[in-house]
Amino acid sequence: MDKLYIYSHSSINVRFTKNADNFVVEEIPLYEFSGEGEHLVLKLRKKDTTTWDAIKALCDFSGAKMRDFGYAGLKDKDGFTTQYISIHKSFESKLEGFSHDKIKLVEKTYHNNKIKTGHLKGNRFFLRFKKVNPVDGLKLQEVLKNIKAHGIPNYFGYQRFGRDGDNYDTGRAILEGKRKERNKKMKNFFISAYQSHLFNLWLSKRVEISRLFNSFEPKELFELFNYPMEIIKKVKAQENIFKLLPGDRLSHYPYGKIFPCEDLAEESSRFIERDITPTGLLPGKKALKADGLAGNIERDFIKECEPFMDKMNGTRRFAWIFPSHIESKYIEESAWFEFSFFLPKGSYATALVEELLHGKVEL
C-alpha cells in the first residue's frame, strides 16, 4: 500500500546501500543486567548475518540447541548489528574460544532470567546516505528537526509484508478458509501481516484527516466531514499535527495502560508533552475498540474481517511515536548525509526513513 506521509515536503533522492558501513543497529535492553544469576548474557556483534545464523554458529561450536538461547528480537542480515542473547551459564566454558569472521562476542555478564522476546527498550540506528547535494542535505536536516519536535506515524514496515508485499493476502485467505497452513508459526505470521495491513490502512486515513485539519478552516472542514461544528473546532484547536478524535483509545508513553479519550483539550496537551499517544487496532476478539467518532472510522477498516474476528486475538499498537536522540551531519566533500536516532520497540526504522525521504526504501 502507499502510505500517506504526515509532513508535506517534496521527495528527496539519495543513494542508500544497506550494508555494514551504512546501516548500524544497536539493541537497548529493557533492564540492566544484575551481574549475577544462572543465565549467561552475551553481547553479540555481527556483520551481514541474521540473528538465527549467528545463534546457529554458536550452537555448532558449543553443542547447544537453538531453543537454549534467549533473545529480545531478531535483527536483519544486512548491516552491522549489536544485540544481547542469553543461555544457561553451564554452556559458558563451551563457548570459550569461539571465533567467527562475521560474529564477535564482545561482552558477557549474568542475569537471573532468560532474555525473552520483547525484553528491549528499543534500538539505536545509524544510517549513511550518499550522493546527497547540499540543498537536500539542508532539507534532510530540517525534516529531521520536525520529526524530533513532533514525531511520526508508527506504520509497519515492508518487512511485515514479504518480498512481494502480499503476505496479508495469504493471511486473509487462511482466515477465510481458502488456504491451509499447517505450520503454526507461519500461519500466525501471515495472519499478523493481515492485521498489520489493516492497521496501516487505518493509520494512513487518520494521517489524511490530520493533514486536512491542519490545512483547512472549520467551515471548510464541516463541508468535508459533516462532523458537528463543536467537534471540528475542538479537533482543529489541537496543536499536535496528528489529531486526536473523540473516542480514541490512548496509551501512556512509552508504555502503560490503555484508556479512552474523554477530554480532547486535556489529552491533546498530554500528547504534546509525550506523556500519552493514540493507539490503533490490530483486530481480534480480545482487542479493545475505539468509541464515538474514532470508533466509526476504525470500524470502516475492520468490517471485512468481522466474520472471522474470533480467529484472531488482536491488540492495540501505538499509532504515533517520538523518535529520540536524533543527530545528523552533512559531509559536503563526500556528499554524505549521516544521522542516528532511537526508536522504541515494535517500531520500524523504515517508517522514519520513508517519512524523511517521502519514498520507499528497503532497510
Query: Residues 291, 179: one domain?
Result: yes
Query: Residues 215, 84: one domain?
Result: no
> pTM for the complete prediction?
0.92
Query: Residues 56, 159: one domain?
Result: no
Cβ atoms within 10 Å of 74's Cβ, excluding its own: 12
Domain hosting residue 250, numbered range: 153-321
The full DSSP string for 262-316 is --HHHHHHHHHTTSEEEEEEE-STT-----HHHHHHHHHHHGGGGGGGGG---EE
Query: Residues 285, 166: one domain?
Result: yes
For 123-166, the pLDDT digits (tens) are: 999 999 999 999 999 999 999 999 999 999 999 988 888 878 89
> Per the omega criterion (within 30 degrees of 0), is the bond before 254 cis?
yes
Mean pLDDT confidence for 327-351: 96
Query: Residues 280, 184: one domain?
Result: yes
The rounded distance, in Å, linking the Cα atoms of 155 and 200 is: 6
Beta strands in the chain (DSSP E): 23-29, 39-47, 70-71, 80-88, 103-111, 120-129, 152-153, 249-252, 258-260, 276-282, 315-318, 320-321, 324-331, 336-344
Q: What is the mean pLDDT of the chain?
A: 95
Residue 3 domain-assigned?
no
Between these two residues, 163 and 354, which has the higher pLDDT value? 354
Query: Residue 99 sits in a domain of what CATH number?
Result: 3.30.2350.20
- Spell out the residues 6+ positions from residue 263 whose beta carbon is closer than 8 angstroms to its own: none
Query: Residues 187, 97: one domain?
Result: no
Mean pLDDT confidence for 2-7: 92
Query: What percent of the chain stands above pLDDT 70?
Result: 100
For 58-93, the pLDDT digits (tens) are: 999 999 999 999 999 988 889 999 999 999 999 999
Residue 300 domain-assigned?
yes
Query: Residues 302, 162: one domain?
Result: yes
CA distances for 301 relative to 44, 123, 177, 260, 306, angstroms: 41, 30, 20, 19, 10
Query: Residues 67, 184: one domain?
Result: no
Residue 9 domain-assigned?
no
Say how many domains are in the chain: 2
Residue 278 domain-assigned?
yes
Closest by CA to 210, choosing from 182, 184, 245, 178, is 245
Query: Residue 215 sits in a domain of what CATH number?
Result: 3.30.2340.10
- Spell out the residues 6+ positions from residue 71 whose beta carbon is closer than 8 angstroms to its own: 51, 55, 83, 84, 85, 86, 115, 117
Query: Residues 160, 285: one domain?
Result: yes
Query: Residues 89, 165: one domain?
Result: no
Closest by CA to 251, choosing from 274, 269, 278, is 278
Query: Residues 79, 159: one domain?
Result: no
Residue 69 domain-assigned?
yes
The rounded distance, in Å, linking the Cα atoms of 77 and 55 is: 13
For 228-239, the pLDDT digits (tens) are: 999 999 999 999
The rounded distance, in Å, linking the Cα atoms of 179 and 173 is: 5
Residue 331 domain-assigned?
no
Query: Residues 238, 175: one domain?
Result: yes
Residue 326 domain-assigned?
no
Residue 357 domain-assigned?
no
Report the pLDDT value the prediction gives residue 253, as an integer from 0 to 100.
Answer: 95
Residues with catalytic function: 76
Question: Is residue 329 classed as helix, strand or coil in its secondary structure?
Answer: strand
Q: Of 302, 321, 340, which one is at a domain's C-terminal end?
A: 321
Q: Of 121, 140, 164, which one is at a domain's C-terminal end?
A: 121
